[in-house]
């Protein structure tokens, strides 16, 4: 029976089969390729710099680190004789102050200089290892293949290096639970960045700039101030937002609750004030809302009234008129007055302008009160000094000098009960010349 015209020819099938076999063989050889000696030495050097932690004990004497089975404490992945992933999790608790930090001989510069010898690293995780010191941006910048970087639960301090904004393949950046301070560099240029977690540091005051691809944004427990930027309301892929425990203030943009992908939002323990508009809508995917411990007033929006099986809402510690566990309305009044309320629809930027005018007026009022108080204190001091001089006119306030010290008393000589200063006139001087000559 002749083959069907539509069926592939045996030659074509044979070629496809050979190509598939060659691809499998190439992939297998790449995975089976032994780790380069320079890469193996770099791993052993990392183990030494980290103080030989128990998590890296399997590296000692391992003929092929790439063949080690992954564990929660250690995972090494390789490709083509190069390390592509290194995950190390220690047991040093960063909450134990500096008692769990590595000794003074540790050098963060030396650690990241060694890690820079692994240029194929796509995933790097060093968690709970007691590492400390500044983050050397020039060394981190060499790891251009990095997609995931996790340095959480250590003691790194100083600023977040701006060189991280040049790791254009970065998808996840986790620096939580360290001692970092200062501003976070703009990460808006990292178009693949989906996760940013810098929680529980000392960062601030500016709110970080991130790209449109962010799915998880965790900024809790820092020193961020001011308002939530309007750009956050345009993060269409955002699912998880936690800015709790900062110093953020002003009104909460109601559109943030309606982000289509949002599932979790925590705005608690800030200084947010004013009312949430009754028209505030919540995304269907939203399952957790926490706005507790702020200065919010008025009535809650319909989508935040009570808990249900589909959504948990926490509002305690505000001044809502229709909720339990609230503070007295007077507690929220200063914050509510200082808050810059959102302009009503159709009013353009007028509301924002009035908010700025109110802030300027408040500053001028405080300055006037300080100046007035200083003038009042000065006036009281002048009155007191004048009264003191009126009561004791014979007292002369003169600077002390060695010449003014009294001469040594002779035996039997008694000092007068009170000495007064005599003013000598020109006539007295003339009498003295005539009588004393």
Best CATH choice for the domain 30-343 from the list 3.40.50.300, 3.40.50.12780, 3.80.10.10, 3.50.50.60: 3.80.10.10
CA–CA separation, 34 and 225 (whole Å)? 51
User: Contact, 65 vs 35, CB < 8 A?
Assistant: yes
pTM, to two decimals: 0.72
Surface-to-core class of residue 210, CB atoms within 10 Å of its CB (0-12 exposed, 13-18 middle, 19+ buried): buried
Specify the higher pLDDT residue, 406 or 99.
99
User: Measured over all CA atoms, what is the biggest interatomic distance in the chain, rounded to whole angstroms?
Assistant: 163
| In the chain, % of residues over pLDDT 70 | 68
CB 200 within 8 A of CB 179: no
Given a cut of 70, whether residue 33 has pLDDT beyond it is yes
Q: What is the pLDDT, as a whole number, of residue 96? A: 66
The C-alpha atoms of residue 15 and residue 353 are separated, in whole angstroms, by 73
Instruction: Give the pLDDT of residue 309.
Output: 84
Confidence of residue 61 (pLDDT cuts 50, 70, 90): confident
Whole-number pLDDT of residue 384? 53
The pLDDT tens digits of the residues spanning 202-258 come to 999 999 999 999 999 999 999 999 999 999 999 999 999 999 999 999 999 999 999
Q: How confident is the model at residue 410 (pLDDT cuts 50, 70, 90)?
A: very low
- For residues 160 and 182, give the distance between their C-alpha atoms in angstroms, rounded to a whole number: 8
pLDDT of 345 over the 90 cut: no
Q: Of 67, 62, 61, nearest to 81 (Cα)?
A: 67
Confidence band for 348, pLDDT divided at 50, 70 and 90: very low
Contact 314, 242 (CB under 8 A): no
Taking CA atoms, 185 is separated from 115, 138, 200, 261, 341, in Å, by 23, 15, 17, 26, 29
Domain boundaries of the chain, sorted by first residue: 30-343
């Amino acid at each position: 029976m002749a083959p069907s015209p539509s069926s592939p020819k045996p030659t074509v099938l044979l070629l496809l089969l050979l190509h598939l076999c060659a691809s499998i063989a190439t992939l297998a050889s790449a995975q089976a390729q032994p780790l380069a000696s320079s890469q193996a030495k770099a791993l052993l050097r990392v183990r030494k710099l980290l103080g030989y932690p128990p998590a890296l004990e399997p590296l000692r004497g391992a003929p092929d680190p790439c063949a080690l089975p992954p564990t929660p404490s250690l995972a090494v992945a390789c490709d083509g004789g190069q390390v592509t992933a290194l995950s190390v999790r220690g047991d040093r608790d960063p909450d134990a102050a500096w008692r769990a930090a590595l000794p003074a001989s540790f050098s963060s510069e030396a650690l990241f200089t060694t890690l820079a010898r692994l240029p194929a690293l796509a995933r790097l995780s060093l968690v709970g290892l007691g590492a400390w010191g500044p983050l050397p941006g020039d060394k981190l910048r060499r790891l251009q293949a990095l997609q995931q970087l996790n340095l959480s639960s250590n003691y790194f301090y100083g600023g977040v290096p701006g060189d991280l904004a040049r790791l254009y393949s970065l998808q996840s950046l986790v620096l939580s639970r360290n001692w970092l301070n200062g501003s976070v560099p703009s990460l808006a240029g990292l178009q693949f960045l989906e996760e940013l977690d810098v929680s529980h540091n000392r960062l601030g005051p500016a709110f970080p700039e991130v790209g449109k691809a962010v799915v998880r944004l965790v900024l809790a427990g820092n020193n961020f101030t001011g308002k939530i930027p309007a750009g956050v309301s345009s993060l269409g892929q955002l699912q998880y937002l936690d800015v709790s425990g900062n110093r953020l203030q002003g009104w909460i943009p109601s559109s943030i609750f309606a982000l289509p992908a949002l599932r979790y939002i925590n705005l608690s323990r800030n200084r947010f004030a004013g009312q949430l508009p009754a028209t505030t809508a919540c995304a269907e995917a939203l399952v957790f809302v926490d706005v507790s411990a702020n200065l919010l007033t008025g009535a809650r929006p319909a989508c935040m009234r009570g808990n249900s099986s589909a959504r948990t809402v926490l509002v305690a510690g505000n001044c809502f008129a229709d909720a339990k566990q609230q503070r007295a309305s007077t507690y929220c009044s200063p914050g509510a007055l200082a808050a810059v309320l959102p302009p009503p629809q159709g009013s353009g930027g007028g509301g924002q302008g009035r908010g700025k005018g109110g802030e300027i007026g408040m500053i001028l009022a405080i300055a006037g009160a300080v100046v007035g108080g200083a003038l009042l204190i000065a006036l009281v001091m002048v009155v007191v000094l004048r009264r003191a001089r009126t009561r004791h006119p014979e007292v002369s306030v003169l600077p002390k000098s060695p010449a003014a010290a009294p001469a040594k008393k002779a035996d039997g000589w008694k000092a007068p009960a009170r000495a007064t200063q005599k003013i000598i006139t020109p006539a007295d001087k003339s009498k003295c010349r005539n009588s004393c000559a």
